[in-house]
Structure 1
Amino acid sequence: MSGVAASLRSPKTETFNFGPWTITSVKGHILKSDQLERYHQELELPQLPEMVFGDNVLKIENSQGFGIEFNAFDSMKQVDAHNDPIKVAAAQKWQEARSDCEFINKVVKPFDWTYTTDYKGTLLGNLQVSQSEQKIDMEKLKVREKIHFYEEMTLFEDELADNGSASLIVKMRVMQSCFFVLLRFFLRVDDVLVRINDTRIFHEAGESYILREFSTREKGIPELKVEPSLYSNPTELAEHLDITVQQYERIDFPVNNAQT
């Protein structure tokens, strides 16, 4: 492989320091053959999304060794490998469109072909997670503050054999006083439903904890009173969907090194 070709295959790494935190962003291409083998061996899914970015990782690590990261492999662990939750015509179309896939031909068991995941990030170190009534102050996030670091990356994406789309995207921004992460799973099954799973992560400098919020919103497309042009715009669609799950968590740092 030439030097140019090799560089095109090499993941791009970027780091940013925020107080005692080191934020590492790694972005690469879709799964390579060796990674594919690991995914198929360790995950029970008979089929992976069309585009899985196995190199893509967003890692937020404190100098004391704890933190949180977001990666495709861990997100795929949360996909139901045993049940098909949407038994509609679109499922049959999806399977027919991928009939040449060796994995589909080898198995007959159902699985969640929409790749819905409630992944909320991978915790690192001895962090204590508890349910909380404390919520992220979204008004504070609306205050104009200089953004010192911004990242957006796709962990996986699939067009559901032209029957819709499914994607998992993580975004992060770091301001002078805090950092904020949005991890969004977006699903659209044409003529059936729209679903959004959002995980929001917020940490304010000087505090010894992170706030994490998770929500699921969905609605049947026949019930959506919006222009079809919005079906691919999760930001606009979210306010038109029904909240079915809402969780608020506080993630406390280890007591013996609770530094921010």
Structure 2
Amino acid sequence: MLGEEFEKSENKEFAMKIENICDQDDGYENLEIDEKFKQQLLQLYDDETIKKMVKMKNKINLPQKKLFDGFQHFFSIEKITEIFDDDYNPSSEDKVHSRKPTTNMEPYRFMLNDTRIEITDVGGQKSELLRLTDYLTHWCYESKENDRNFILLVVSMSDYNVQHPVHQKFTLLDESVEYMKLLLNNPATEHCGLLIFFNKKDRFAEKLADEQCREDIKYLKDYIKSSEYQSYTSTGKYSEKVMFNAITAKFVDIFKKKYPDKSCYCR
């Protein structure tokens, strides 16, 4: 990690154990989380190599691996100690920063002002996205005559500087743009509305404020005025609105090419 060795060999062994667990689909099922595990985790946290890794969290880019967005929230001595307490009860903030991948199609139904609403969550894992066309076809053709259908595409703003694992010239944000193209060109969604939710704005702002990520603004250069671009790269100062618009513009451009006569509103 970072070209350096852990301070203690047992820290490296424990780190490798965690990595192997994360690489397995059912790795957590047989994991024994006890007092020993807690102490090993706290010792790992205190390792200088891990501390350096934390400082570089916004630049970590490993093949087929991605740092959990809730990492910063949970990875502290105080939070680790709190979670391992027998009386621990997750706070609302803990739940917001937690992650549980969606598999297959998960429908959620509820009523709002006498309107029946059904949300079908497909999930964003690679294995699920490969089945996207099948999901869309099934969902659209199962709709009833008076139903109004919308697709909600959730986009991670913080992916603007995460290189695509296969196509190195592009980012995971570019991949989201391609998925939007797929949605717009799918016959099954011809009569569906499209809503885009730009998520992880806090992580996006955190990366923009990180000097190590400053050169990564090159991925958004085509959507930022030259003066704004130069100001940010030289001083780190930026307009939140300018940066947000740079993200949304990548999607708006594609939408307007497909539907030049339709309006597009980004929030």
**Does the pair score TM above 0.5?**
no
Greater radius of gyration (CA)? 2
More helix by share: 2
TM-score by length of 2: 0.27
Q: Which has the higher strand share?
A: 1
